Chain A
């Protein structure tokens, strides 16, 4: 589990009792966000009628995310486009950078994903209450349910609503951690079985790398689209 270790890079920074030192996790956050910024800045610099490769990449990502948002949350979600875009790109780049050998996967730490998910949860709830006032509580009372079942349903709905940040964060964290652990395990098999028996786990390792790249994209996508769905609940209340 060495690959998940967080260690300090440079001096120890402490504010009061809280340790805010720059770590390898911080390094990869900085790398990911800078990579996103560089790629999209290059992609938006020139405005030619026929885009070059990097511009095409930036514009395709833009239309991809904006289509995802408008499909799931409608046109009302447009003001939140840049947040969801940043979220998707940040998670995607963190996942992808984690695929480089010896790199650190930022999203394989529950605290990171949980902070993101908690921020989304709180933000969505605040938006919901601002848009609908106390009418937002109708979210917990689905229409067309028999009155007898109502107390039970409301309790279940509240629990499912409150578990959203946990499920959102654990999904991403667990996927990343499990994938990397599995690759580490198969890598360990290659070493321990040696030249004779190591080829099979090596093949598995190669296949898993492909799978993990897919998962890295998919989990970023799922994270973003679930954010859109939660946002949709807050913006268009039609339960």
Chain B
């Protein structure tokens, strides 16, 4: 069929070439001398190129493209994964920092409370001691106060008896002196 087809075109163009062939041989394209040679070599070269391209070269190129695509998408995936991971790690880190901050606050609070308690206790103790001391001192003062008139009287009696002895040179009865001292102190009061 193909041969017949080419024969028809052959004769068609042969006719054309005869029409145009008046000047300088016409178009070389319409000279059928080498048509079969051209067809033959076209089939051989194109066929060879087609077979080699389709069997060896093109699959390789397509494979290269596929692997590149796969590699790029893989890389993107792993980058995404790592991003997520790092985000998680940042979250963890923030959490850890928050926790440790809270812990530190707790420790601080506990220590403060403890110190405050200690201080309170010590102050209480101190106040107690001071109060005790004060009360003791007050008691002593009271005692001293209570005892002082007698002593003063005694001292007065003694000094007055001594005075009298030195001035006059007479031993005076202590009882009489004491009566006088009492009398004076009463008057004074």
Contacts and interface: CB of A to CB of B under 8 A. Distances in A.
A6 B28 CA distance: 7
Contacts of B53: 36-37, 40, 82, 85-86, 89
Interface residues of A, number: 52
Size class of the contact patch on chain B = 35 or more
B180 interface: no
B28 A112 contact: no
Contact of B49 (A20, A51, A90, A116): A90
A179 B54 CA distance: 32
Given A33-B46, A83-B50, A26 B41 contact: yes
Interface string B35-47: 1111111110110
Contact of B28 (A4, A63, A83, A118): A4
Given A49-B71, A83-B54, A1 B38 contact: no
Interface in B47-74: 48-50, 52-54, 56-58, 60-65, 67-68, 71-72
Contacts of B34: 6, 8, 19, 21, 23, 25
A37 B47 CA distance: 12
B38 A111 contact: yes
A136 B41 CA distance: 33
Contact of B33 (A19, A36, A45, A122): A19
Contact of B24 (A1, A4, A58): A1
Interface of A: 1, 4-6, 8, 18-23, 25-26, 29-30, 32-33, 36-37, 40-41, 43-45, 47, 49, 51, 55, 58-59, 62-63, 81-83, 85-86, 89-90, 106, 108-112, 114-116, 118, 122, 173, 177
